[in-house]
Amino acid sequence: MRRSVTVIGISVAIFGLVFAGGSLADDGQEVSLLALVDDVDGDGIPDAEDNCVEVPNQDQADLDLDGVGDVCDNCLEAPNPGQDDCDNDFCGNLCDCDYDQDGRSGFGDFGLFRAAWIIWPPHPNPECYDHTEPIGDTVGFGDFGFFTSCFGSRPGPSGTTPGTVACPLR
């Protein structure tokens, strides 16, 4: 005897929960299914599958393919699944070399970077100046290359800041 199974389902988001329902047909017998799944942001995507659990993003866009949704990603153009942001400016370490928080990287930032450059014992907070994996080790030549590539520019872009201006001044 050959068996076939057909699953038909829908999901609806209400008050932070996803009601996933459907029916299972097996040899003409139909069984109704209903499951209650968490959806903190109410976007209709169950938390277990949502790439940004706390902010609604039905499209699940992820420009840099790091597994973090663009609306939650603190560095849109560089894969950074850990979302490292040692200076808490909402702009991830992998796209931020504005260490003095004046809105643009410059000579003041270079002075701060230089103070963390290949020193022993390591700088007390090296991850702020560390832009190459593994984050948190010695600040070296790869980090200097990153710093020179963003010298004179604004940090970002970041999907976690409102509007189109990334990592705004505080």
The separation between CA 109 and the C-alpha centre of its own chain, rounded to angstroms, equals 25
pLDDT tens, position by position, 18-57: 545 555 455 555 555 556 678 888 999 999 999 999 999 9
Write down the pLDDT at residue 164: 39
**What three-state secondary structure class fits 127?**
helix
Going by pLDDT thresholds of 50, 70 and 90, the confidence category of residue 3 is very low
Q: How many CA atoms lie within 13 A of 42 on its CB side?
A: 3
Task: Give pLDDT, residue 161.
Answer: 64
- pTM for the model: 0.67
HSE (CB half, 13 Å, CA atoms) of 100? 13
CA-based Rg of the chain, rounded to a whole angstrom?
Answer: 23
Cβ–Cβ < 8 Å for 157, 148? no
Mean pLDDT of 84-102: 86
- Report pLDDT digits (tens) over 97-151: 888 888 889 999 998 888 888 765 666 666 778 777 666 677 888 889 989 999 9
